[in-house]
Amino acid sequence: MHRALDILEAMSEQDEVGVTEISKKIGLPKGTAHRLMLTFADRGYVQQNLETGKYRFGFKLLELGGIAFNKLDLRKVALPVLQALVAKTNEIAHLVVLDKDAAVYIEKIEGNGTLRLFSRIGRRLPLHCTGVGKALIAFLPEQELASIVQKQGLPRFTPNTITDAQLLKNELQKIRQLGYSLDNEEHETGVWCVATPIWDYSGKAVAAISTTAPRLRVTEERKSWLISVTAEAGKELSKRLGAHESIIEQL
């Protein structure tokens, strides 16, 4: 089972992949990889390109993914809030959840602006240098946060990336005080983001939403406004998830 899942995860990194590439990537004997791919193809999980002999994801995975997304109440509840946020800002809005040691996009809505981000539903993001990532980990228990940092490290993506553990702690403390986080070109040069955590009825930060814009378009005046409207959207979504009024008032 682990080997089968390793293959599917390795395939997600590119459009098509051959059996030899798969076997080398995950350290699996070529014969075993070939047998597993044939099984996947027979069940509709992958499709083979008859011209290249390589494999790509099949419609069965799309079907299962659609079922999973339809069962995500969070995504359904958040959609109108995100749509309203994009209508106000004309920028990109994301809904993100924490999955082990990464932030994962589960919804994305684009405005009519010129920014085109390499963001897609299902993409995993680092936690220490993205607005949504920092919004999610700011409210984790200290031991859990330390475990993530130890495992993932603090790799640098741009000159603005926080790579010092103490500086990250200081940043997260500031986020807890303000109720929102910023990404000042920390993950991608030229990209600015504001994010706010989303709380549910149990008082847990279950997700984060964000507004992302080109850095050149974010003047000081517009920055304050984007922070404000994103924070209001976060309050509205938290309210719809049953968050206690005392939590919402602190946002």
Q: Which residues of 11-27 are buried (b: 16+ CB within 10 A; e: fewer)?
A: beeeebbbbebbbebee
Question: What is the number of alpha carbons within 13 Å of residue 221 lying toward its C-beta?
Answer: 0
Element (H, E) at 104: strand 102-109
Query: Percent of the chain scored above 70 by pLDDT?
Result: 91
Instruction: Calculate the alpha carbon distances from 222 to 187, 202, 213, 248 in Å.
Output: 21, 34, 11, 24
Binned at pLDDT 50, 70 and 90, residue 69 comes out as: low
Among residues 124, 70, 66, 121, the alpha carbon closest in space to that of 100 is found at 124
pLDDT higher than threshold 70 for residue 71: no
- Say what the pLDDT of residue 90 is: 93
Q: In this structure, which CATH number among 3.40.50.1580, 3.20.80.10, 3.40.50.720, 1.10.10.10 belongs to the domain 2-66? A: 1.10.10.10
Domain limits of the chain? 2-66, 72-250
The tens digit of pLDDT for each residue in 118-145 reads: 567 778 889 999 999 999 999 999 888 8
Enter the pTM of the model: 0.70
What Rg do the C-alpha atoms of the chain give, in angstroms?
20
Binned at pLDDT 50, 70 and 90, residue 117 comes out as: low
Which has more confidence, 25 or 170?
170
- CATH level 2 (architecture), domain 72-250: 2-Layer Sandwich (3.30)
- Say what the pLDDT of residue 76 is: 87
Instruction: Calculate the alpha carbon distances from 6 to 1, 27, 51, 190 in Å.
Output: 9, 10, 25, 34
- Say what the pLDDT of residue 250 is: 65
The tens digit of pLDDT for each residue in 198-212 reads: 998 888 899 999 999
